[in-house]
Amino acid sequence: MSFSFSPKLGIDLGTTTVLVFLPGKGIVLHEPSVVAVSTRDNRILAIGNDAKEMIGRTPDEIIAYRPMKDGVIADYRVTEAMLRYYIRKALGKWNHFRPEVMISVPAGVTSTERRAVVEAATKAGAREAYVIKEPILAAIGAGIPIHEARGHMIVDIGGGTTDVAVISLGGIVASTSVKCAGNRIDRAIIDHIRKTFNLSIGDKMAEEVKITIGSACPMDDELFMTVKGRDHLSGLPRSIEIGTNEVVRAIGKELRMIVQAIKDVLQETPPELSADIIDNGIIMTGGSSLLRNFPDLIFRRTGVKARVAKDAPYCVAKGTGEALKHLDTYKKAIITKR
């Protein structure tokens, strides 16, 4: 069995989460892209779930931070350590072999940023590292036949970036990438609650609000939840009740940016492909596409039907797996080494 000499791994290297896909096994690892570093001796103390637990709860000499910013490497050394840890953890007993690794990068990535990813992966123990643009992987993972001569529009909304692309004949015809996605939505909720209710809440609480009661459009039957935080004036703990439409108000600006990115790409799309997109609709992937009523908002603003792909948060990771299976087909089309 040739597999054992060179295992293959697909990595969805996201701003907030890292997913590792092992062909034949599926997604074997799903952890936050967080690293805890000791400031005293610059040592890496924890990675992934263990490090995320430390966010906002660490003593002064430990900082927990995300080495990826807006989908690209912000801290090279820490990203390399994180990749090494995830590659080892995912391979387990195949660990003696250097794997072939395929990594996702945002559509708007520069060649320097792309090289940084390849280099970090190679240093972290990959025998070969390939990078593919996220929208293509998301489309493959969502089961879109990307090689046919039809236009498909994919909107991948992650933690750090929203990638919008029109794909035809296996390539990207028009695309844009905006640094506005899940994290910016969380931050908007934090700011809004501080301004409106004088209450400071943390990232975790904001994310919980978004998932539990958030929506892209106002709702007649609002959902409500209790939000706990620290009173901005007295400094004491306090809780308030907040409804869906309050969240809709809080995140309006961020959603407008995402919708604008979709409009920009639609305006750049050749007419023949525009006709295909009207027929096929817009496919949404990525964890943040799961926000309630998001497809409705896109339909209202663009006139094009949108739908969320099955297993939306995992489409990019599944796409890396599919691309690895048919490596030779994809090598020619879209993969750039070094």
Beta strands 128-133 and 100-105 are parallel
* Amino acid (1-letter code) at residue 6: S
> pLDDT band for position 3 (50/70/90)?
very low
Instruction: Answer left, alpha or beta for residue 127, where phi above 0 means left and psi between -120 and 50 means alpha.
Output: alpha
Domains of the chain and CATH, by start = 2-137+315-333 (3.30.420.40), 144-308 (3.30.420.40)
- Summarize pLDDT for 275-295 with one digit per residue, the tens: 999 999 999 999 999 999 999
- Summarize pLDDT for 279-335 with one digit per residue, the tens: 999 999 999 999 999 999 999 999 999 999 999 999 999 999 888 888 777 665 555
- Summarize pLDDT for 103-162 with one digit per residue, the tens: 988 887 888 888 888 988 898 888 889 888 899 999 999 999 988 889 999 999 998 889
Residue 259 has pLDDT above 80, yes or no: yes
Beta strands 26-32 and 162-168 are unpaired
- List own/partner pairs for 305-309 with CB under 8 A and 24 or more apart: 305/281, 306/155, 306/281, 306/282, 307/281, 307/282, 307/283, 308/284, 309/138, 309/141, 309/142, 309/143, 309/283, 309/284, 309/285
Cβ atoms within 10 A of the Cβ of 177, count? 24
